[in-house]
């Protein structure tokens, strides 16, 4: 984390003294009114699948939220760029987690064919989160896949990308500080949201009966996705992209955090690996079609007290831009397969869909409305004293000012 702190401090203190260099601030401020049905949100320590929740399966709640995400980019030379961005948010009153923190901080060194990035950053896998600051131009809530990526996977390390021509890009990453990757999928399950976790943030886990009994040595206040490395092992990732510029692309990514499955500082290092296959047609046209499919496995500990699960999810997104309006429809499926059979049954299957309309009131002001629905079973919820019905619906109205 020292490298990300160095980037952040450099941007704050060095940029005013180097006013002749290119220095840009960009970001957005948004206000959201959300109507939600279903169980308490996972952020409230419940089994609900949205970032906001009500008190039960047949209940509903209106919530007012606010988000400010700001990024700074300094380009002192044509081959050098420094970037940092953070978020501050107003959430549901009883939600856990940090209200503000660092999202990304990295240094880029680049030439005509190579780019070297060091720090904390998102991998370029998402076909929906393509706007600056890892936001989506299509919907307010992300797919289950990218909701999970935003919550639990952000490499802290070094990434090298090679682009020999307009058609091919290859990349490799070495990273650390993502040792608990997989805990949310195995113990909480899939969700639909838009919340980006920040460094050293504790995210809540649901009240599973096994946590204070079978896994009594695991910290019970939650999991920390990005923190000081636990097991001292370096994770790796590789990707290959092929594209027809401005028309279409396909990409395959492999990620393996190479976790050691042992306990450190009252937390387990999870051994998690997964693949993401993505494709998109209409990169710059008014009509866009995008899809991603992710499959993998995660686990921690050793017999008799251990966790092992397989998981998979995919989505298909269609979007159409006409003048000041954008209409988007996305369909998602998700599943987790419990393979350890040690405690509760964390197997689940479900799907969700989102219908969104975005309208540009002004060049930098956007009004968005969205209807989202999630259905899915959760046997572990019933075994832990809650309802197995984790279905939910949300209606969101958002006013966003970008700069």
**Cis peptide upstream of residue 304 (ω within 30 degrees of 0):** yes
pLDDT at 370: 98
286-343 confidence digits (pLDDT tens):
999 999 999 999 999 998 889 999 999 999 999 999 999 999 999 999 999 999 999 8
User: How many residues would you count in the chain?
Assistant: 403
| Residue 28 neighbours by CB distance under 10 Å | 19
Centroid of chain to Cα 294: 13
- Residue 220, judged by CB atoms within 10 A of its CB (0-12, 13-18, 19+), counts as middle
Average pLDDT, the chain: 93
Query: Whole-model pTM?
Result: 0.93
pLDDT above 60: residue 57: yes
pLDDT above 60: residue 357: yes
- Residue 357, judged by CB atoms within 10 A of its CB (0-12, 13-18, 19+), counts as middle
Least confident of 18-27, 34-43, 122-131: 18-27
DSSP H helical segments within 76-229, as ranges? 144-152, 183
Centroid of chain to Cα 203: 13
pLDDT at 17: 43
Nearest to 189 by CA among 156, 152, 139: 152
pLDDT above 50: residue 174: yes
pLDDT above 70: residue 35: yes
Phi, psi (rounded to 5 degrees) for 183: -60, -40
pLDDT above 70: residue 4: no
| Structure tokens belonging to residue 48 | 């609900």
User: Quick one: 2-402 is in which CATH superfamily?
Assistant: Porin (2.40.160.10)
The DSSP symbol for 169 reads E
380: enclosing H helix or E strand:
helix 379-383
3-state secondary structure of 129: coil
pLDDT at 292: 98
CB 246 within 8 A of CB 286: no
Unique residue bearing structure tokens 């251990």: 306
């Amino acid at each position: 984390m020292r490298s990300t702190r160095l980037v952040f401090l450099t941007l704050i203190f060095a940029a005013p003294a180097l006013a002749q260099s290119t220095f840009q601030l960009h970001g957005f401020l948004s206000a959201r009114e959300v109507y939600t049905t279903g169980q308490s949100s996972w952020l409230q320590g419940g089994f609900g699948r949205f970032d906001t929740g009500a008190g039960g399966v047949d209940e509903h709640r209106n919530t007012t939220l606010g988000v400010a995400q700001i990024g700074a980019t300094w380009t002192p030379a044509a081959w050098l760029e420094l970037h940092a961005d953070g978020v501050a948010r107003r959430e549901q009153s009883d939600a856990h987690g940090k209200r503000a923190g660092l999202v990304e901080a990295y240094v880029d060194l680049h030439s005509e064919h190579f780019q070297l990035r060091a720090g904390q950053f998102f991998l370029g896998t998402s076909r929906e989160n393509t706007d600056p600051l890892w936001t989506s131009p299509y919907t307010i809530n992300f797919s289950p896949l990218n909701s999970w990526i935003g919550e639990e996977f952000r490499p802290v390390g070094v990434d090298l990308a090679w682009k020999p021509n307009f058609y091919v890009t290859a990349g490799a990453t070495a990273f650390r500080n993502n040792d608990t990757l997989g805990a949310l999928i195995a113990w909480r399950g899939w969700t639909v949201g838009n919340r980006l976790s920040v460094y050293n943030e504790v995210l809540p886990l649901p009240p599973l009966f096994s946590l204070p009994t079978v896994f009594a040595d695991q910290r019970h206040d939650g999991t920390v996705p990005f923190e000081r490395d636990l097991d001292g092992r370096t994770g790796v990732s590789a990707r290959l992209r092929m594209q027809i510029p401005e028309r279409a692309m396909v990409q395959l990514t492999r990620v393996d955090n190479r976790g050691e499955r042992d306990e450190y500082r009252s937390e387990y290092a999870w051994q998690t690996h997964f693949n993401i296959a993505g494709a998109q047609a209409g990169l710059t046209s008014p009509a866009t079609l995008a899809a991603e499919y992710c499959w993998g496995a995660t686990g921690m500990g050793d017999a008799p007290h251990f966790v092992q699960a397989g998981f998979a999810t995919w989505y298909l997104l269609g979007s159409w831009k006409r003048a000041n309006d954008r209409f988007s429809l996305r369909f998602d499926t998700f599943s987790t397969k419990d393979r350890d059979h040690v405690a509760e049954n964390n197997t689940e299957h479900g799907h969700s869909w989102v219908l969104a309309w975005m309208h540009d009131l002004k060049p930098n002001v956007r009004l968005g409305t969205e209807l989202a629905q999630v259905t899915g079973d959760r046997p572990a919820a019933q075994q832990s004293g809650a309802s197995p019905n984790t279905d939910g619906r949300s209606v969101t109205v958002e006013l966003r000012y970008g700069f």
